[in-house]
Amino acid sequence: MCGIVAYIGHRNAKPILMEGLKRLEYRGYDSAGMAILEGTTGRLRTDRAVGRVAMLEEKLEGRQEFEGTLGVAHTRWATHGGVTEANAHPHRDDRHGLVLIHNGIIENYAALKTYLQEKGHRFTSETDTEVLAMLISELYEGDLESAVQGALREVTGAYAIAVICEKEPDTLVVARKGSPLMVGIGQGEYVVASDASAIVAHTTQAFALDDYNVVKLTRSSLSTSDIHNTPVTPKVTQLEIDLQEIELGGYTHFMLKEIFEQPKALRACVSGRLDIREGRVVLGGLAAYAKELTKTRRIVLTAQGTALHAAMIGRYMIEDLAKVPAQTEYASEFRYRNPVIEEGTVVIAVSQSGETADTLAALHEARERGALALGVINVVGSTIARDTDAGVYLRVGPEIGVASTKAFTGQVTALSMITLFLARKRLMSADQCADLMRELDQVPDKIQRILDQAQRIARITERYIERENWLFLGRGYNYPTALEGALKLKEISYIHAEGMPAAEMKHGPIALINEGMPAVFIANRGRQYDKVMSNIQEVRSRGGHVIAVATEGDEQIARLAQDVIYVPDVAEPISPLLTVVPLQLMAYYAAVARGHDVDKPRNLAKSVTVE
């Protein structure tokens, strides 16, 4: 959720921290703050601002006291306490000149706050973060690392923190449990951040902290331990992110860029993995578990939000093509309802970031009960990727826009390949597998044909942007696509939208339809095409305006729908990869037309690292 960045080295910290905040702003943008140890006086200078990072940048412009080579900065997604300057990070203690930034939630903060108040500490915010800062202060006896370790032994919850203190001007201490944190290693300097986007401009050597890791950084050294001061050896890796991938590159918004990147992204996703000549899928990450997967009795796909919609499509494919019983689960519910995990169960965690707290917790619960755990993840080296037995990386590149687009199609593509990998080993012939792989291999070119219609889709969308209630309807494989279309519209245009199976409409929601209400039907050619046409008639007869996503060459639907967006023909199991693209564009153009910030929708953040 929140974005944290810290620096210690030989350069002026302020521009590095400010650049890092801008890179991380997609993680939260309610407020922002910075603290720097001033080089001339050795005092900590702190300032905060409500609103976007630009508001903080404006406040700090020209401020000479914010010159120093050690500092921390934070962009907030509010959890504890309202969006106020007092609740913004960094938070200071009241005794030792100590400041802390934090991503996560301290669950036992109330009891700790009472204890600290009894010890005479005075609080100025409503946040759990200030409690942690005061706890470290209470335990401080001249060794910041030791005080941090002691404090973290007393807290429950999730945290990624960075702490500096006036009394130790050559020390930065960072730690992590549950919330992501990376240390970038440069020449005589270190950059710490929530993810690689704030590091890659300065170094490509980095390591991710594991749970309970505490890292002490000075300008000349690095040491890693756990909260009990047991030494830990970090695994330094080469960052695989390209700086150009996280730049706008001429696009107005990251979301639009990422929608248009989908042909390239999906080519990268399938590259080297489709052996069409032999009729087999090559997934090196799953090869060691091929026997267990072949014998599996049940597959559970768990995720949240957009990833859950991809998982639902994966479930349809697994049951349809591989003939394995499958189900999808909200990760947030799976963990807490005492799920039944019998022998032979495989659990697949689907997450773009690989850090989604609910999905990670569900994964741990499944593994604890004996399930084989797989991941469908985009971010290499993320927590879920490290905590699974095996998995498939999406390889679609960084996704900055809060509303996920290319990660969704990457997830569906990866799940398609997992399905074919499984189906081929169980019952599918080489010819059948090769046919579907050819279809999958052609998807990028077919998506490009849809993107070529972008301006026409924009004009259609603009006709309906004043309507505050929309329906998205589909059947079979495209019921989850309808859910995803509705979610995209809600996320960035703030239009109320409901996605549902088309047949479910007449069991209650049909009462919502009034004159001119937009009803988006995914009506591509498939096994339930005729049923969808009947559902369109039901909406038309009640005054609803039908926007249909249909298969090229379908003239019948043009007589029923007010507007038709055509997509190329494709095998039904992978049709969501095409039908979702017009829905992504509609959501984007609706948000732009209504004057909203597409990449930073209100109340949302990219990576949900709290439960």
The confidence band for 27, taking pLDDT boundaries of 50, 70 and 90, is confident
For residue range 283-313, what is the model confidence (pLDDT) as tens digits? 998 999 999 999 999 999 999 999 999 999 9
pLDDT at 380: 87
pLDDT tops 70 at residue 389:
yes
Q: How far is it, in rounded angstroms, from Cα 129 to Cα 2?
A: 12
Structural element, H or E, at residue 266: helix 262-270
Residue of 400, 357, 491 lying closest to 24 (CA atoms):
400
**DSSP assignment string, 213-246:** EEEEE-SS-EEEEETT--B-----EE----GGGG
CB atoms within 10 A of CB 1: 25
pLDDT tops 90 at residue 240:
no
Mark residue 249 as left, alpha or beta (left: phi above 0; alpha: psi -120 to 50; beta: remaining).
Answer: left
pLDDT at 339: 86
Q: Which residues of 263-295 are buried (b: 16+ CB within 10 A; e: fewer)?
A: bebbebbbeebbebeebbbebebbeebeeebee
pLDDT tops 90 at residue 103:
yes
Residue of 307, 428, 287 lying closest to 358 (CA atoms):
307
For residue range 338-369, what is the model confidence (pLDDT) as tens digits? 888 999 999 999 999 998 889 999 999 999 99
Give the residue-averaged pLDDT of 180-203. 94
**pTM, rounded to two decimals:** 0.90
Residue of 526, 474, 534 lying closest to 502 (CA atoms):
474
Residue of 471, 587, 582 lying closest to 518 (CA atoms):
471
- Rounded to whole angstroms, the maximal C-alpha distance in the chain is 79
The confidence band for 609, taking pLDDT boundaries of 50, 70 and 90, is low
pLDDT at 29: 85
Q: Which residue reads 């406040």 in tokens?
A: 59
The confidence band for 611, taking pLDDT boundaries of 50, 70 and 90, is low
pLDDT tops 90 at residue 15:
yes
Give the orientation angle of helix 576-593 with respect to helix 479-493, to 10 degrees.
20
Residue of 86, 83, 125, 120 lying closest to 106 (CA atoms):
125
Per DSSP, helices labelled H in 517-595 are: 529-540, 576-593
pLDDT at 602: 87
pLDDT tops 80 at residue 193:
yes
**Lowest mean per-residue pLDDT among 172-181, 261-270, 462-471, 538-547:** 538-547
Q: Which residue reads 């741990």 in tokens?
A: 364
Tokens of 214: 């505490």
Backbone angles phi, psi at 417, to 5 degrees: -70, -40
Q: State the amino acid at position 508 in one-letter form.
A: G
pLDDT at 40: 82
What domains lie within the chain, and their CATH numbers?
3-245 (3.60.20.10), 251-448 (3.40.50.10490), 453-598 (3.40.50.10490)
Structural element, H or E, at residue 135: helix 128-139
User: Do you know the residue count of the chain?
Assistant: 611
3-class DSSP assignment, residue 595: coil
pLDDT at 607: 64
For residue range 106-127, what is the model confidence (pLDDT) as tens digits? 999 999 999 999 999 999 999 9
Sign of the torsion angle spanned by Cα atoms 151, 155, 161, 166: negative
The confidence band for 78, taking pLDDT boundaries of 50, 70 and 90, is confident
CB atoms within 10 A of CB 602: 11
pLDDT tops 70 at residue 610:
no
For residue range 434-483, what is the model confidence (pLDDT) as tens digits? 999 999 999 999 999 999 999 999 999 999 999 999 999 999 999 999 99
> CB–CB of 75/28 below 8 Å?
yes
Residues classed as catalytic = 2, 606
Percent of the chain, pLDDT > 70?
Answer: 99
Backbone angles phi, psi at 452, to 5 degrees: -65, -15
The confidence band for 140, taking pLDDT boundaries of 50, 70 and 90, is very high
The confidence band for 257, taking pLDDT boundaries of 50, 70 and 90, is very high
pLDDT at 372: 96
Q: How far is it, in rounded angstroms, from Cα 258 to Cα 598?
A: 12
Backbone angles phi, psi at 202, to 5 degrees: -115, -30
pLDDT tops 90 at residue 541:
no
Q: Which residues of 413-427 are buried (b: 16+ CB within 10 A; e: fewer)?
A: bbbbbbbbbbbbbee
Give the residue-averaged pLDDT of 420-432. 95
pLDDT at 505: 78
| pLDDT, the chain, mean | 93
pLDDT tops 90 at residue 77:
no
pLDDT tops 80 at residue 213:
yes
Tokens of 242: 């390209």
Q: How far is it, in rounded angstroms, from Cα 30 to Cα 489?
A: 22
> CB–CB of 302/359 below 8 Å?
yes
pLDDT tops 90 at residue 593:
yes
Cα within 13 Å of Cα(358), Cβ side: 18
Give pairs for 480-483: CB < 8 Å, separation 24+.
480/309, 480/310, 480/312, 480/313, 480/316, 480/576, 481/309, 481/313, 481/522, 481/576, 481/579, 481/580, 481/583, 482/520, 482/522, 483/309, 483/312
For residue range 500-523, what is the model confidence (pLDDT) as tens digits? 998 887 788 788 888 889 999 999
Strand partners, 155: none
Q: How far is it, in rounded angstroms, from Cα 249 to Cα 455?
A: 20
3-class DSSP assignment, residue 133: helix
3-class DSSP assignment, residue 466: coil
Give the orientation angle of helix 479-493 with respect to helix 305-317, to 10 degrees.
170
Tokens of 341: 């995990």
CA–chain centroid gap for 370, Å, is: 27
Structural element, H or E, at residue 290: helix 290-295
